[in-house]
Amino acid sequence: MDLNCDNAKKTRKSYPNHRKLEAVSYAEKYGNAAAAKEFGTDESNIRRWKKQKPVIKAMNPKKRCRRSRKEFWPELESQLKTWIISRRNENRRVSTTGIRLKAKELAKHLKINDFKGSKCWCFLFMKRHNLSVRAVTSIGQKLPKDWEEKMAVFGVFVKNAINGVNFEHIGNMDEVSISFDMPSGFTVETKGSTDVRITTTGNEKCNFTVVLCATADGGKCKPLVIFKRKTIPKGVFPKGVVVTANEKGWVDADMVSYWLENIWRKRKNSFFCQKSVLIYDSARPHITEEVKEKVKKYSQLAVIPGGLTSKLQPLDLSVNKSFKIKMREKWEDWMVNGYHSFTKSGSIKRASYAEVCQWIDECWSEVTADCIKNGFKAANICEYPTEALTTVISRATDSEEESEEESEDQIESEIPESFNELFDLFNTESDEEFDGFN
């Protein structure tokens, strides 16, 4: 192969800083093109070195490139890092665009005129200070400063409230917002693809609400589905789901009252229940005086302090995420294998109300009792006996039953034969004979 041919791939070269300065001086006298020809490099490099002349002069002449990544504006970068850390301590989002804008603001304040705040500078700044772009693991309110004290007070209150209450009458209610389209943000695609699309029906922002309630024994109340419309949709819905509607598609005080009357009050074994406890968060519709009075008719109320649902809400700790994942799986299976109807323009219509309710019923039935119990255990509301203790209790119960059977056999063996004969007579004689005997 001829290495001198025009199609041969050019090899990259590196130049020491003193060589770059010589090329810049030559270009200033004879022009960029002549300098590029003289030093055997591209004209673009000559132009770039001319722009970086002050920086190159300040560097070691024997160095070949800027691999040290030393900051040129240490005061600016120090203040910028302090700003980023303070924002993250408040759980505020920090983007690369926000970093560049803040850096330009600081440069103006520090009277740095040659600062541009480019994307390349932002990348090198983050690398110098051990910063990177991370996926958000949790979205929610910041924990209050006295959250540990509030958790302790709430824990004492709940322990007193559930004292003597059967686990099947300790409930936790929470609302989950779900959309008709639930695409994942990740997909498998060939490397280098610039267009990575996911087909949906276009209803990612069309939401409805599912009100879930679980009890500490692993039991589940019927889900309440609230669609965003003026009238309740018509259709055949599964028996395990209660369907209603309002204009907002969200829970208000009327919906909480509706849920109390039609679901919580009608839960399993609630008719003979003398004492029960209902736990939910401090959302505004939950804590109106009207709703509180209605809850007190049926149960003792325990309201989770604001900002502590991530610590004290059993459904948030174990159930809601599992439920949403199962719902997404149902939607993805429907998109691939389900029966679809189309609009006049050829777009796929969203799933019907009946289909969505069927998914909810199936997903809620798939949530296991252990999953629910783990939420109550993680919230430190209920303490369940360990497996070993359960085995010991069951063995003790079995031994007691066996001892009772043995004692009954012993008593029967000690009964005199005359009593046994009289007992047989009562069992064999007819009613008329028995009456005559009396």
**Per-residue model confidence as pLDDT tens for the chain (438 residues):** 444 444 445 566 778 888 888 899 999 989 999 988 888 888 888 898 888 888 888 877 777 665 545 678 889 999 999 999 998 887 788 999 999 999 999 999 999 888 888 998 999 899 889 998 887 776 666 777 888 888 899 999 999 999 989 999 999 999 999 999 998 877 777 777 778 788 888 888 899 999 999 999 999 999 999 999 999 999 899 999 999 999 989 999 999 999 999 999 999 888 877 789 999 999 999 999 999 999 988 899 999 998 888 899 999 999 999 999 999 999 999 998 888 888 888 889 999 999 999 999 999 999 999 999 999 999 999 888 765 444 433 454 455 445 444 544 554 444 444 434 433 433 443 333 333 323
- Are 370 and 396 members of one domain? no
Integer Cα distance of 196 and 400 in angstroms:
67
Supply the CATH number for residue 332's domain.
3.30.420.10
- Are 354 and 292 members of one domain? yes
Domain count, the chain: 4
Q: Which residues of 209-233 are buried (b: 16+ CB within 10 A; e: fewer)?
A: bbbbbbbbbbbbbbbbbbbeeeeeb
Are 222 and 251 in contact by the 8 Å Cβ rule? The answer is no
pLDDT value of position 421: 46
- Are 302 and 170 members of one domain? yes
> Is 8 inside a domain boundary?
no
Integer Cα distance of 319 and 215 in angstroms:
12
> Is 189 inside a domain boundary?
no
Supply the CATH number for residue 114's domain.
1.10.10.60
- Are 122 and 45 members of one domain? no
Residue 208: CB partners within 8 Å, gap ≥ 6? 177, 178, 179, 180, 225, 226, 227, 228, 249, 356
- Are 168 and 282 members of one domain? yes
- Are 178 and 231 members of one domain? yes
> Is 321 inside a domain boundary?
yes
> Is 403 inside a domain boundary?
yes
pLDDT value of position 10: 58
- Are 281 and 171 members of one domain? yes
Q: What's the pTM value of the predicted model, to 2 decimals?
A: 0.63
pLDDT value of position 141: 65
- Are 178 and 298 members of one domain? yes
> Is 153 inside a domain boundary?
yes
pLDDT value of position 17: 85
- Are 168 and 254 members of one domain? yes
Integer Cα distance of 212 and 281 in angstroms:
13
Q: What range does the domain containing 330 cover?
A: 147-182+204-337+350-378
- Are 251 and 319 members of one domain? yes
Q: Are strands 242-246 and 277-280 parallel, antiparallel or unpaired?
A: unpaired
- Are 250 and 178 members of one domain? yes
> Is 135 inside a domain boundary?
no
Give the H/E segment covering residue 389: helix 387-414
pLDDT value of position 67: 54
Alpha-carbon dihedral 40, 41, 46, 47, rounded to 10 degrees: 140
Are 268 and 303 in contact by the 8 Å Cβ rule? The answer is no
Q: 212: which strand partners? A: 174
> Is 211 inside a domain boundary?
yes
Cα angle, residue 321 at apex, residues 315 and 322 outer, rounded to 5°: 95
- Are 161 and 304 members of one domain? yes
> Is 63 inside a domain boundary?
no
Short-list 258, 193, 261, 185, CA closest to 225 = 258
Are 227 and 210 in contact by the 8 Å Cβ rule? The answer is no
